[in-house]
Amino acid sequence: MEGLIGTISPPQQWDPTRPTATRPHTTRISIPIHLHLYTNRNSRSRSLSFRRRLNNPSKVAATIISSSLGEDQSPPLVVVGSANADIYVEIDRLPREGETVSAKTGQTLAGGKGANQAVCGGKLSHPTFFIGQLGSDAHARLIAESLGNGGVHLDRVSRNEDAPTGHAVVMLQPDGQNSIIIVGGANMCCWPDQLPAEDVDVIEKAGVVLLQREIPDRVNIQVAK
C-alpha cells in the first residue's frame, strides 16, 4: 500500500510501517431531508415551480444563496494589502556561502496574503475589491490577470513606475521545508500618505475589511480607523 503525506511541496512517500499515534478515518453521516410542498390554491403555482427546480440541484443552491446574501445588495468584501509574484524553486538543499546550486524545477505564481484573500472572496461569488500597489512589470500583469480571473474588482489597484511589483523567492526542499526571501517592492513603498477618497469610499461601504502585515503599518492603521 502506498500513499502520500501532504506537505507544502514537494510530497514525500508515506511509509505504512511507521507507527502513528492515530489512524485517520472517515465517517459518513446521512441526514434525511423532507421537503413539504403545499398545493393549496394560493401556493400551487409556486409549489410546481419549486418542484421543477428540484430536478436541478445547482439552481436550488443558487436560489438559496441568493436569498441569503442578496447578490446585488451585499456589502462588499474589501482587502487592503499585499500582492506578490512567488517564484518557487525545488532544490536538494540550501546553498552554502558563495555556492551556486541548480534547481530541479521553477515556476512563478501570483500570490501574497492580500491577493490570496481577495481571490478566495471572488471565488465565492461575493463582491470583492482589492486595494493594493503593483509595479509596471511582468509580475504586475501576472497578478492582475490572476485577480481578474478570480472575480476580484481591480478598480482600486494602483500601478507604479518607481518600484517593482512585490515578489518572493520560495526555496522548497525534499522534506517539505521551505525558506523564503521577500522583496516588498510596491507593497511597501508606493502607498500615499493618505488614501484617496475613492479608496476610503469603498472601504466605508464594506461589510468586511481584511488587512495583513505585508504593507506599511500606517496604512493598516488608517484603514482600521
Q: Is 188 exposed, middle or buried (0-12, 13-18, 19+ CB in 10 A)?
A: middle
Where along the chain do its domains lie? 40-72, 77-224
The residue assigned the cell 520560495 is 170
What pTM did the predictor assign? 0.66
Is the pLDDT reported for residue 55 higher than 50? no
pLDDT for the residue 74: 87
What whole-number distance in Å separates Cα of residue 201 and Cα of residue 214? 22
Q: Which CATH class is domain 77-224?
A: alpha beta
Is the pLDDT reported for residue 86 higher than 60? yes
Band of residue 72 on the pLDDT scale cut at 50, 70, 90: low
Q: What is the overall mean pLDDT for the chain? A: 78
pLDDT digits (tens, 9 = 90+) for 167-190: 999 999 999 999 999 999 999 999
